């Protein structure tokens, strides 16, 4: 456990340091709020033990820690004397403190409450990891790492609403891997999955930060290009095609040459379903025209 003890009293800091170090902790000292925040950031503190009267009071420090995107998981134990009221204890806890520990410090309480607070941080971190994993399962396609059908269509719907409201342009690309069924039939589904994964990675490598990509199903992918007209969409489509076909995909069955056909549609104030129909028709025309090409609706 890594702890930071923030208190104006050198004697109290020394007592806390020796007690916690004897219990196997790494301990750092701070004399004021600025030093406390700096120390927590520098050492990645699990627990901050902070004096109730530190600076202008501990509550602004609690707010600062809990609003910081790097530090908000840090557990905070407020060190308070007999002058803290029950209302003061409740307010500290309500603002984000994890515990209130009375001073003068008793060694057993100091060690026990500090480790309990550190466990709280560990539980929060584990919950955050589980939530992130759940979000991946809900919104992202496990094979390609792209958004799944539900997620990409939902985000496209939101972007269409924004484009309509603010008069922005928007285009979509509908991609299909050329002759994907023969790839599966000849090389096996494992190799097919590896091709899909590689196509997704190469696709993302040619996208801007604001662009979106998702897997609609099978080998059909969708790219959303905000603030992009048809000319810009054609440039993006050709860049993506080149990136995907420039070298074979290394698969478990050996190298496989891959290309994609792309249908391009620029939004013209139609609804989501009509926009996707236009892109799908353009994709069909690209495949009918010989594949490995892009066609604009």
Q: Is residue 128 part of a domain?
A: yes
- Structure confidence at residue 98 (pLDDT): 92
227 annotated active-site: no
Name the residue among 184, 205, 207 with its Cα closest to residue 258: 184
CATH classification at residue 273 = 3.30.70.270
Interval 47-64 mean pLDDT: 92
- Condensed to tens digits (0 to 9), the pLDDT of residues 216-236 reads 999 999 999 999 999 999 999
Segments forming the whole domain that contains residue 41: 2-136
Cα 140 from Cα 131, distance rounded (Å): 13
Cα 195 from Cα 160, distance rounded (Å): 31
- Condensed to tens digits (0 to 9), the pLDDT of residues 228-276 reads 999 999 999 999 999 999 999 999 999 999 999 999 999 999 999 999 9
94 and 166 in a single domain? The answer is no
Name the residue among 159, 170, 162, 156 with its Cα closest to residue 228: 170
Catalytic pick among 94, 219, 229, 280: 219
Is residue 89 scored above 70 in pLDDT?
yes
Is residue 152 scored above 70 in pLDDT?
yes
Q: Is residue 118 part of a domain?
A: yes
DSSP string, 46-78: SEEEEETTSTT-HHHHHHHHHH-TTTTT-EEEE
Cα 60 from Cα 66, distance rounded (Å): 10
- Condensed to tens digits (0 to 9), the pLDDT of residues 159-212 reads 999 999 999 999 999 999 999 999 999 999 999 999 999 999 999 999 999 999
Q: Is residue 132 part of a domain?
A: yes
Instruction: Band the pLDDT of 58: cuts 50, 70, 90.
Output: very high
Q: Is residue 71 part of a domain?
A: yes
197 and 289 in a single domain? The answer is yes
- Structure confidence at residue 221 (pLDDT): 97
- Condensed to tens digits (0 to 9), the pLDDT of residues 95-149 reads 999 999 999 999 999 999 999 988 888 887 787 777 767 666 678 998 999 999 9
Q: Is residue 241 part of a domain?
A: yes
Instruction: Provide the number of structural domains found in the chain.
Output: 2
DSSP string, 11-54: HHHHHHHHHHHHTT-EEEEESSHHHHHHHHHHHT-SEEEEETTS
The last residue of a domain, from among 110, 136, 162: 136
The last residue of a domain, from among 112, 136, 160: 136
pTM: 0.60
Q: Is residue 142 part of a domain?
A: no
């Amino acid at each position: 456990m890594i702890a930071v003890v923030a208190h104006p009293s050198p004697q109290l800091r020394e007592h806390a340091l020796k007690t916690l170090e004897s219990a196997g902790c790494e301990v750092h000292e701070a004399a004021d709020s600025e030093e406390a925040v700096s120390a927590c950031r520098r050492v990645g503190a699990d627990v901050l033990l902070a004096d109730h009267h530190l600076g202008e009071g501990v509550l602004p420090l609690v707010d600062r820690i809990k609003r910081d995107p790097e530090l908000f998981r840090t557990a905070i134990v407020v060190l308070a004397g007999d002058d803290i009221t029950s209302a003061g204890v409740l307010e500290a806890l309500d603002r984000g403190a994890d515990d209130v520990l009375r001073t003068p410090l008793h060694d057993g309480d100091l060690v026990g409450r500090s480790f309990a607070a550190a466990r709280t941080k560990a539980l929060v971190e584990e919950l955050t990891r589980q939530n992130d994993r759940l979000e991946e399962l809900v919104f992202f396609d496990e094979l390609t790492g792209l958004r799944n059908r539900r997620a990409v269509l939902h985000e496209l719907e939101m972007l269409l609403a924004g484009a309509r409201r603010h008069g922005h342009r928007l285009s979509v690309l509908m991609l299909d891997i050329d002759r994907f069924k023969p790839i599966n039939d000849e090389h096996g589904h494992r190799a097919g999955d590896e091709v899909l994964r590689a196509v997704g990675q190469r696709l993302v490598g040619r996208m801007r930060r604001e662009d979106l990509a998702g897997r609609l199903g099978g080998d059909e992918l969708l790219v959303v290009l905000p603030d992009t007209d048809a000319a810009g969409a054609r440039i993006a489509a050709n860049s993506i095609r080149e990136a995907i076909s420039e070298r074979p995909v290394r698969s478990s069955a050996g190298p496989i040459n891959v290309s994609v056909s792309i249908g391009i549609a620029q939004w013209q104030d139609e609804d989501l379903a009509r926009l996707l129909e236009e892109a799908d028709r353009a994709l069909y025309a690209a495949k009918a025209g010989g594949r490995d090409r892009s066609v604009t609706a």
